[in-house]
Amino acid sequence: MKVQEDSNLIQSILDGNIDSFNILVNKYEVIVLRFIYNMIKDKEAAEDITQEVFITIYNKLYLYDKNHKFINWLLQVSKNKCIDYIRKYKRVYESNIEDIPNVTSKEMSPEQAAEFKETKQNIEAYLNSLCEIDRQILIIRYMQNLTFNDLAEILEITESNVKRRYYKSRQNFKTFISLKEKGCKQ
């Protein structure tokens, strides 16, 4: 249904309907913004790049291949815009945990909130220790819930390479956590 809905919106945009483009932007803006922020770690730059992505999408929509999912193409354009930004400014910002919206529920106990915060910090520390491509694989896989085939298209690597990197990163995370836990017990 989602693919058909996107296809209908795209055809409507190509036919000149600006309102359809606004619907498309509203549908994917947060996804693109999070994806870009996770790559460059700068909120203002991520917002600017997100805007550039949608301008590019609007101007190049006729190039979109309907045989592929729109989200894959959109995230591939987003990835390329981030790479352009990083090359131009030669910088990637480290994530500031305070910039990430607080997602703790008011109903959490103090113990649960402390455990959640510790888990979040462990995940961020692990993600920051990964190379860029492994970090992208994990973030896209968990935030967008895309298939390995979709990830391979977006990142322009083979599906088997995506799977290998994904499962290796997951195994390394388990090791990372067990080492942290052993460090706390000693």
Can you tell me the mean pLDDT for 40-45? 87
How many angstroms from the chain centroid is the CA of residue 38?
6
Identify the pLDDT of residue 175: 87
Other C-beta atoms closer than 10 Å to the C-beta of 115 total: 12
Burial class of residue 49 (count of CB atoms within 10 Å of its CB; 0-12, 13-18, 19+): buried
Other C-beta atoms closer than 10 Å to the C-beta of 111 total: 8
Per-residue pLDDT of 19-32, as tens digits, reads 989 999 999 999 99
Topology adopted by domain 110-186: Arc Repressor Mutant, subunit A (1.10.10)
The average confidence (pLDDT) of the chain is: 82
Per-residue pLDDT of 155-181, as tens digits, reads 889 999 999 999 999 898 888 888 877
14-33 burial string, b = 16+ CB within 10 Å, else e? eeeeeebbeebbeebeebbb
Where are the domain boundaries for CATH 1.10.10.10 in the chain?
110-186
Where are the domain boundaries for CATH 1.10.1740.10 in the chain?
1-94
Cα–Cα distance, 125 to 34 (Å, whole number): 18
Cα–Cα distance, 49 to 54 (Å, whole number): 9
Cα–Cα distance, 33 to 99 (Å, whole number): 14
pTM of the predicted model over 0.75: no
Pull the structure tokens for residue 181. 């836990």
pLDDT tops 50 at residue 113: yes
pLDDT tops 50 at residue 105: no
SS3 per residue for 9-29: HHHHHHCCCHHHHHHHHHHHH
Is the CATH number of domain 1-94 3.40.1010.10?
Answer: no
